[in-house]
Structure 1
Amino acid sequence: MSSSEYAARLANPIRYKGIIFDLDGTLVDTVPDLAVAIDRTLVDLGHAPAGEIRVRDWLGNGASKLVERALRFAGMDAMHEHERALALFMQHFGEEFTSRSRLFHDVLEALPALVARGYRLAICSNRPSHLIKPLLDHLQIGSFFSAWVGGDDLPVKKPDPMPLWHTARKLALVPRDCLVVGDSINDVDAARSAGMAVAAVHYGYNYGQDIRMSSPDFVISSILELT
């Protein structure tokens, strides 16, 4: 889709039938729970914790890549220690992945408003699939979504376009009818490859870089702006 076509569609947003949201960093601030799990993993392996500020810049490519970055930070052999470290991380995160995570501002107001306007909503995340629905339900937003796709549902993750295509099919929609909403360059690149327009939130997890540098179709400060 050309830049002029994107602009035309953004000028008439009602043409979108579905909105596909990223989860971590877009709808929910999950860093506090992720950081605790990473720090406990590093301590188990005999290293000092990394801390929430560092972990915040390591997110965006799924649990495996997060653990790899933590191992490199600790000066460990990421190749040989990765399997053990990932197992420890998943154990810690699975035990306590809803304790500290919180919705970003205006999410709870925006989602029902979007559903009321007739949009079909879905989640496409790189987090493990079995850790999506429990978090949505814990935060009382699960009922707003018709479908969700996790990072282990397919052989590839975002920024590959396949997860977005799979999510669109679950919504019974074609790519041109979908708007992607994310927080990182992975979401922007995935949407571009999938032939979908993309809105980016400015407050998410993008490796410390300004999301505007990734040239999304537009940047929003609140999910409520989508209404």
Structure 2
Amino acid sequence: MINSFGAGGSYASLVVEEHLERRPQLRRQGEQLLIFSAASRHSLLAYLEKFQAFIATNPSLELEDLAYSLAQREHRLAHRAALVADNIEQTLARLRLLLTGELPVDGGCWISPFDGIEKGEAETALGAPAQMAAAYCCGAKLNLSALYSEGGNRISLPGYEFEHPLARQPQAAATPQTLFNSMLYRRIASGELNAEQFEQLITTI
């Protein structure tokens, strides 16, 4: 973001985005591996839904660019999902399966256990994209520098939702004292209770 402040109080702001150079000659043909990771199950599913909407409204996107761009993000968090696909239509179908939890027995898409993967030294996933996806969701590492040794076209993707650690905690039940204080404040603020009445009320408690 670029900000400019004028002496007379004027203010201007300009938001710029990184230029992502497209190199159409770099193409990794065949089945593509799409990986996702997040700090919580809630955040992971929320992003899968956002990613699904993103590609549904941008049907001209190249699947190779999506796979490469996802691989450049943080992918070592505990809650993971992965899918392999040949085209955008198949990608959308497998995202729907991940969101509904109806994972096919023959593979195609995978998700980590509900509580996430356990931390520790992990082996590097090897083999075909489907084998790598399954191993990744069980905690394996990915050698993405080898997978994309020739680079790729990085595109701008939607961001993960920020999840505040306190945002989803239930609120404590109100106590009689807090309810009384709230009622008293409302009566004073509305003019229903004057200073003399307030003093009488306090002395009788």
TM over 0.5: no
Does 1 or 2 have the higher relative contact order (CA < 8 Å, sep 6+)? 1
**When the two structures are superposed, what TM-score results if normalisation uses the length of structure 1?**
0.27
Task: Find the structure with the greater CA-based Rg.
Answer: 2
Higher helix share: 1
